[in-house]
Each structure stands twice: as structure tokens, then as C-alpha cells.
Chain A
């Protein structure tokens, strides 16, 4: 199967919007347990008439998708596929809180309409007047992975030549309060600058919108080639994960020595990161992490794919990521291994092209 990443668009807690040089600037620091996106001026990307109804996640998603399509020079993708675990939480929270406080009276439709999980993909379709395939996956730590699988299958089936695919999730006050009460985040001091160096209980919340234009035909400006994707649901221990990883690499006729870099999903939570420690086979590969940049959220694999695509395009690790990796040859092949809550494990394999 041929699947090339032709373009990207990424709005994240780092300065990634608008395609600045890849992670060239200083790391954006966040203290507390919430890493919100550094958002661009949306008026440059979205029609002002449309912005008025859009909540933050919709703006982020539509803007990242627009940047991606602009970079690709594609005005009409053959398919639009999104992944979001939580969907449009701000609109959901708005409607439900009004419903409770106003005892089901005098409610307005906008928040309800926009709370639907397919809103971002639908808005992109509406803006582009794209009548083609449009789908939305909403499966926790597999939301983006499922969207990516759908996109890859569409290319494989020759149903599409260009697919716009993205992962989007947002933090809201309600969700952050509730997830904090569930014990997901650090108590007391936290900073993303030392999140991974000082493992402890809990992590930091993140969010983001990362889109990709994937194509079946190669072009001169592609970032990378997407070689494979595998997911593993609720594995019974490290042996099962390792077995899956082995068979995944085997299916791609590779072994661990062929992997130039592993991007892992460590988030600084001791219990969570133990899963990575136990995966002995991977230890021989050079590794970098990414959640110190974007925080933890269910569709963060999209951020990792964006990072891998950029590293493969240049062949080098940016200084921001490099300290933990020794001098090395050009990076030609990257394996992303992320897991969410030790329930959703995913492997994404990419190579330079």
C-alpha cells in the first residue's frame, strides 16, 4: 500500500500553527496541569461569518485542516476523516449546563447542533463544498488511529487519492475538573519542562488539532511515507504487546535494528510509563518522547505523527528533542508507540521518502 503524507496542519500547545520552522523555537512552558493550544488568529484561516458559531475545538480543527490543505495545494480532498475521543466538549457542556440550570426551558439550538461528534469534519466539508466521503471516529485512545486506518484503506481501495485525516481533542473547564477528580493529573507543582524527568503520580492534560493530507501518489514535497499501523486493545501484559510489535514489524519485513528512532508516548505518570519500561525489545532503539510538548490526550498520536513526519522530512532531530539521543545517522525510519491508559496501544511506522 502506498500512503504518503503530503501536507500537515498542526495547532498544539507548542508554536506549530502556520508551519514555522519545525520545533525551532524554545519549548513553550506550561505550569499547572493544563497545556492549552497556542492558537493562531483564525480570521486568516476561517471566514469570519462562520467563526461566530464555532467553539474553540471547531476553530482549531477547521484551521488545522485549512492549513494542511493549503500546504498540499489540494482544494478538494476525496475524503475527510476525523478522530476525536471527547468531541465538542465546550458545546456539550454549554448545552447540558443550560439544560440543568434552566430546567429544560428556553434553550437555544446552536450549542446542541455543534456538540455533535462529526461537527468538525462536517464543517470542513461544508466550507469546501465537498460532497465526498465524510466520517468521524470517536473511540477514546483509538479515535485518531481508526481515522488513519480508514484513510489508508480508502487509498488502498482506490476509492480516494487524497484523504484529509485528523485528530482533535480539547480541554474545557468541566472536563479538566472531572478528569482531575479521576486522578489523571499531577497534584501540586507540575511543569511540562520536567514532566518526564520527574516521573510521579499523574500527568498533564493536553489538547490539539493535527491534520494530514495523505495521498496514494508520491510527490516531490512529501513529508514521509506511512508504512503501517497496528492497534492493540487491552493487552494482557508486556509479552502480548511485544508479540504484537514483532508481528507488526515482521509484516513490514523489518526488525528492531531497522528502526532509527522510536517516538514513545511517555507522559511522566509512573504507572503509565512502566508499560514502556517493561517493553524490553524496544530498548535497543534510540527513543524520544513527545508529551512534554503537547500533554496527554486521547488523540495525541496525531501530534506524534506530525513530529515523525517533520523529522523524516529533514532527516534530523531538532535540538529541542536531541539531548537524549546520541549523534547519529540520518533518520530514515520511525516507529511511534503510544498507549492510552494501558487500554489503547498503537504502533505507527513511517519512513523517509
Chain B
């Protein structure tokens, strides 16, 4: 039940790159992917910057090897999941007990919102093929079928912690002896639904977001996908390729404070981080880097920061939010940031928290503002927190 679970492959697509290599290059060259909205057809296009994947729908479909008419979320998911599985290069994959555990926050909403325009005028109108992939699960199935995975296929949706929970659940399926290998993570494309939803909450920054800055004004939405290939210890031992790292800790806790806001003392974040540490058998001082949830909203950053203070004071590891690069990819961020955490271990990197000007006055620590190479990164804590108080932390450790 407690045998280690290894990471054998990773895949990513985001506003800073269409694959792992491109994402890594952008992280190293400190290039943000956030900018003017060009793909999403919204009335807010001139007011709200977003982090779009730099490929139109047609090109993305062609890269994913899937039809153009389907949800962009499925396309993003397929690209990253396939890269992850490809990089793991597991011989005899078809004979293993495999699972695809994916996450997204709004399923095929990008198509559904197109469907609703004619449908609202006349409920017998609107092309049904635009709404057949509305359910979160259908997006997962389009990709599972593409990957040829059948043994366990399921979808998790816990708002912005969704894909961290997918990785967590995938690891447990292995630990419980149900599967040998799991492709886990999540995806979300930009939609008018989520853009307008976050806009009603007045937490979108009209400029580029500044996570953990005293003068932060909110988040920028992004799109993307990130997946990891998890394998059992037994399977890892048979692979030619050495695993990249281990998933050593995880915890899911609930803030139980408010439907959308985090508690002032960061109860949920604190419990998730401390629970993950406990699971991994590590002490706070063992953590080499924290990939923060760090959305750039007033509320998230102070709650997360306060929880970190409670747990780590006075010895703070380097930490940063990579959402200044990718925007907030919602159902995708847990997967994408897990991939960045794994890359931090593989490459010995501490990423900078871009655009930080004034550190938050109420926090006794400072986030990383410079890229650090050749760092000794042993254990990385990755935080993903969401609506409904859902808080999940993962810890990746050197294999």
C-alpha cells in the first residue's frame, strides 16, 4: 500500500510552448505566455489579457490527430498526454493494466457555448455535434481512446485542484494494486464561460498578473494541459529508462470556509501541505522548492502565504508561482505545475516568479525572483487550490 510510485514520463502544452522542450525553454528565457486575446471570441478581448496556446484550432487538431470539430480541451489534453506516454517509452504497454485519469473544469464548454447561440433562439436549432462533448468525461474518453487505454478511465473535477487530484488518485490506483501504469493530469481550454465567470468575481487583472506582489490585482486565465506517467515500483524496475522522479507525498484537504474565498489563516492549504509532508515522511526543511498555487488574487496569495508561514517559519525554501508565465489554467494547472515541478528536479532549476516588484508586506518571506540553475532540487512541493475549498498538495522527490 505504501510502495513508491515513479514518474516515467511527462507531457505539457501551454501558452509558453507546445511540448516539454518549448515549455522548458520559455521557463529558462523568462518569457511569459500571457498577452492580448486573439483566439477566444469575447467582448472582453481588449480588456482582459489571457494566456493562449499559440496554435489555432485547426493546427492544434492536426497536432493532436483528432477532428477539428471537437472541444479544444480534448485537443490540448491529447497533445500533452500523448507526449507524456511517448516519453515514458514503456515496452509492451498494451499488455499492462493501464489507466487514464484526467481532469478538467468545464468539459467541452468551448463548443457548448457556441451551440447555445442558435439554441437560445430556437431550441430545435444548434448542431448536436457541438454539445455531445459537453460532459467532462467525454473529453477524457476522446483522449483515452486515442491512447488506447481502457482498464480505468475516469475524470475528476474539483475546480482548480482538479488535475492534482487526478495525479493523486492515479497514484493510489497503483498503490492499491489495481493498475501498473497511469497517465494522469488534466487540461482546460479558454472559454467565454470561465472568462465571464471569473470576471463576475472581479478577480481578473486587466494587466499581466503579479502573483505574490503587494500590488497584485488578480489573475489571468490561461489554457493548457499537463500529464505525468506514473508507474509501479515493479514496472519501473523493468524499464530501460530510469524514472525521472518519485511521487512521494500527497494530500487533499478542504478549507471548509467559503464557497470561493480562502480562509484568512489558510487552513485548507496548511492541511494539504502538512498532510503531504507527513505522507512523504519529510520535514518542512527537506523541501527544496515550492511551486505555489499563486494565482495573483488578493485572497489566494495571502491565504497560501500565511499557511506557508505557519508551516515553514523560519526556514523558507525557494518558491515561485509559474502562473505569471502560463496564466491560471484551472483544471489543467495541477498537471502543468506537476510537470514543472518534475522538470525542476530533473534540470536542477528554481523558476523565477516573474514581474514581482513589491514583496507582500504581511509575509516574512520573499518569493524567488531570479532563475536559479544547477540547484540541488531534491523534493518539490506543488500546491493546487480551488473553489469549494478544495486544496491539494503533491510532493515529487528525486528517484
Contact = CB atoms under 8 A, between A and B. Distances in A.
Q: Do chains A and B touch in the complex (CB under 8 A)?
A: yes
Interface of A: 80, 85-87, 95-97, 99-101, 103-105, 107-109, 112-119, 121-123, 125-126, 128-140, 142-143, 146, 150, 153, 156-157, 174, 177-178, 181-182, 231, 233-234, 343
Contacts of B268: 131
Contact of A118 (B123, B152, B256, B390): B390
Interface in B212-260: 252-260
Contacts of A136: 156-158
B2 to A, nearest CB: 9
Given A131-B253, A182-B128, A233-B153, A122 B388 contact: yes
Contacts of B157: 87, 116-118, 136-138
6 contacts: A113-B201, A117-B158, A122-B388, A138-B155, A181-B128, A343-B141
| 7 tightest A-B CB contacts, nearest first | A122-B388, A112-B197, A140-B137, A117-B157, A139-B137, A109-B200, A139-B155
Interface residues of B, number: 65
Given A116-B387, A122-B388, A140 B141 contact: yes
A164 to B, nearest CB: 12
Contact of A122 (B120, B267, B390): B390
Given A126-B259, A139-B140, A100 B116 contact: yes
B103 to A, nearest CB: 9
Given A107-B197, A133-B253, 11 more contacts: A95-B197, A96-B112, A100-B117, A104-B43, A107-B199, A117-B159, A118-B388, A126-B259, A133-B252, A134-B390, A136-B157
B389 interface: yes
A297 to B, nearest CB: 12
Q: Which of A109, A122, A343 has the most CB of B within 10 A?
A: A122
B165 interface: yes
Contacts of A132: 253-254
B156 A113 contact: no
B29 interface: no
Interface in B160-179: 165, 169, 172-173, 175-176
A137 B192 contact: no
A126 B258 contact: yes
Q: Which of A117, A129, A156 has the most CB of B within 10 A?
A: A117
Contacts of A134: 158, 252-254, 388-390
Nearest to B2: A157
B12 interface: no
A201 to B, nearest CB: 17
A139 to B, nearest CB: 4
Contact of B271 (A85, A128, A131): A131
Interface in B1-54: 1, 42-44
A104 B44 contact: yes
A102 to B, nearest CB: 10
Nearest to A117: B157
Given A101-B120, A135-B158, A121 B388 contact: yes
B137 A126 contact: no
A107 B196 CA distance: 8
Contact of B136 (A95, A117, A157): A117
Given A118-B159, A135-B252, A138-B156, A99 B113 contact: yes
Interface string B117-140: 101100110001001100111101
Contacts of B124: 181
Nearest to A102: B196
Contact of B159 (A101, A116, A174): A116
Contacts of B252: 133-135
A140 B138 contact: yes
Contacts of A103: 43
A112 B154 contact: no
Given A131-B254, A138-B155, A178 B197 contact: no
Contacts of A233: 144, 150-151, 153
A136 B253 CA distance: 13
B93 interface: no
Nearest to A107: B200
A126 B256 contact: yes
A289 to B, nearest CB: 25
A63 B107 CA distance: 27
A208 to B, nearest CB: 17
Contacts of A115: 197
Contacts of A96: 112-113, 116, 193
Nearest to A1: B176
A135 B156 contact: yes
A153 B120 contact: no
B384 interface: no
A101 B120 CA distance: 8
Contacts of B151: 233
A157 B158 contact: no
B306 interface: no
A131 to B, nearest CB: 5
Interface in B374-396: 386-390
A35 B346 CA distance: 55
A185 B163 CA distance: 34
Interface in B38-96: 42-44
A174 B390 CA distance: 29
Contacts of A135: 156, 158, 165, 169, 252
Q: Which of B1, B123, B157, B201 has the most CB of A within 10 A?
A: B157
B15 to A, nearest CB: 22
A173 to B, nearest CB: 9
Q: Which of B136, B199, B387 has the most CB of A within 10 A?
A: B136
Q: Which of B176, B200, B201, B268 has the most CB of A within 10 A?
A: B200
A347 to B, nearest CB: 14
B116 A130 contact: no
